A = this chain, B = another copy of it.
Amino acid sequence: MADRRSSQRVPPTTVRRLSAYYRALGALVERGVPHVSSKALSDLAGSTAPQVRRDLAYFGSFGTRGVGYSVDALRAQLARILGIDRSWPLGLVGVGNLGRALLAYRGFRGPEYKIAAAFDTDRTKIGAVVEGVRVSDVASFAEEARRLGLAIALVAVPADAAQGVVDQVVAADVHAILNFAPVQLRVPEGVRLSNVDLSMEVESLTHALTDGGVARAGRGAYHERGL
């Protein structure tokens, strides 16, 4: 029988839910809660109890009947699975408005993820220090990536520059990329590319504001229905 614990086999939607469970467990740690049931965890993370049990079974984690999961132990296990039991230096390419917002973003200031280097092509930006990070010429990306051990690049450049940047990132042996540019990018096999598409997030909302495919007239309409 195949080993279900291999990370290769976990569907992306499960990984997303694991991230949500991890956050919910963090909130429970802060409140000093020692154990949590799959039902309570699913409520906190916007999932369902059977889904929680199914997701955690991938990793051979089973709660105790009547007691639930140990919050600390499960959180440590999820951190290991998500790869955040260590620190990852990130490289940011593009120091425009979005790049500055990413530099200021709490989740990218440590301990798990820290933007360790920022790059731009704009001569007026190179050498500046933004949110404590010095902006380097993108021409030095490979050198800095090697020096800092960058494994992940955040790409926040205009759409027409993104493919060139990604090619450069891949050539520098950085093989995991989070792309914010609204464009379809090509990467060689073996490179992991994730695209952040903010309008997709809004589509979940407009789907909810829309009744069975027929848009409702206005705010009053769905308000009355309690959404």
Q: Closest CB-CB distance, A57 to chain B, in whole Å?
A: 14
Q: Is A203 touching B101 in the complex (CB atoms < 8 A)?
A: no
Interchain CB contact under 8 A, B199 and A194 = no
In the complex formed, the residue of B with least CB distance to A13 is B13
Please state if B222 and A175 are interface contacts (CB–CB under 8 Å). yes
Cα separation A113 to B82 with both chains bound (whole Å): 33
Q: Once the chains are docked, how many angstroms separate the CA of A226 from the CA of B200?
A: 29
Q: Which residues of B contact A175 (CB under 8 A)?
A: 219, 222-223, 227
Which of A33-41, A116-124, A132-140, A205-213 binds B? A205-213
Q: List 25 A-B contacts (CB under 8 A).
A: A10-B207, A12-B204, A18-B207, A19-B200, A20-B200, A82-B206, A83-B207, A83-B215, A98-B101, A98-B104, A105-B199, A107-B197, A108-B199, A108-B202, A113-B202, A149-B219, A151-B209, A173-B220, A174-B219, A176-B206, A176-B208, A177-B205, A178-B205, A191-B227, A192-B208
A182-B20 Cα distance, complex, nearest whole Å = 13
Q: Are A149 and B218 in contact (CB under 8 A)?
A: yes
A15 to chain B, nearest CB (A): 5
Find the residue from A5, A206, A220 having the highest chain B CB count within 10 A. Answer: A206
Given contacts A46-B12, A104-B97, A197-B23, contact A81 B210 (CB under 8 A): yes
Please indicate the chain B residues that have their CB under 8 angstroms from the CB of A171 in the complex: none
Query: In the complex this chain forms, how many copies of it are found?
Result: 2
Given known A85-B215, A219-B174, A227-B190, contact A106–B207 (CB-CB < 8 A): no
Q: From A10, A104, A227, name the one whose CB has the most chain B CB atoms within 10 angstroms.
A: A227
The minimal Cβ–Cβ distance linking A223 to chain B, given in whole angstroms, is: 6
A200-B16, A212-B7 as given contacts; A207 in contact with B107, CB under 8 Å: no
Residue of A149, A182, A198 ringed by the most chain B CB atoms within 10 A: A198
Docked-complex contact A204 and B209, CB < 8 angstroms:
no
